Amino acid sequence: MARPRVIDQDQVLDAAEAVVGRLGAARLTLDAVAAEAGIGKASVVYDFKSKQNLVRAVIARKVRLEEEHIGRAVEAIGRQPNAEALGRIAAASDAPNDETRAVALNLCAALAQDADLRRGLKRFYEKEIAAVTGTATKPRMALLAFLALEGLKMLEYFEFYRWPEAERASILKDLVALVGSGKSYRPGDAEEEAPAA
């Protein structure tokens, strides 16, 4: 009778992210992930079969978690015009921390070498753009705000630029104004002024 498996896949993915953040995706090995997770390599191989599958699983989880984060932010905005665009701005209200930046930067190397991963992210962004523009009162302005937001995030993730906190908050408020809503990018922020018509 086989022993029941007690290894949580999220534990393995957390370990893989830690290794990627510390050593880079190119140096990610199943052995290093197993050591980081405190489990045997056979357990990692059983669940993921290969380094490429492990990297794919890490990226798939990152995308899923981002979709959930955006979903919660959109839900917090409520049923109002431009909720999809405003929710994405709200979801980006906190700058990524150093660990998140390191993982994102290092996973880009894996994306460059894997057409399937790029196709998955292409589908993610197609859905994002459709959601933002399909629900906006001013689709073009919402699209421009989305593109600016993604540019801001990429500059941060790739460590090209770190915005001072006050300037970053001001930029996000400008994106809210570009979308065309007087609602704050942070639910409950009563200081936001309605943009001029």
Structure tokens of 41? Answer: 């390599």
Domain boundaries, the chain: 9-179
Low-confidence ranges of the chain (pLDDT < 50): 182-185, 187-197
pTM, to two decimals: 0.82
H-assigned helices in the chain: 9-23, 30-37, 41-48, 51-77, 83-91, 98-112, 115-134, 139-157, 165-179
Cβ burial, residue 87 (10 Å; 0-12/13-18/19+): buried
Which pLDDT does position 196 carry in this prediction?
A: 41
pLDDT of residue 72: 97
pLDDT at 11: 94
pLDDT in the model for residue 197: 36
CATH number of 9-179: 1.10.357.10
pLDDT for 3: 57
pLDDT given for residue 194 in this prediction:
38
- Backbone CA torsion sign across 164, 167, 168, 169: positive
Half-sphere exposure in the Cβ direction for 110 (13 Å, CA):
27
pLDDT for 119: 92
Q: Which residues contact 52 (CB under 8 A, 6 or more apart)?
A: 114
Q: What is the DSSP letter of 26?
A: G
Give pLDDT, residue 195: 40
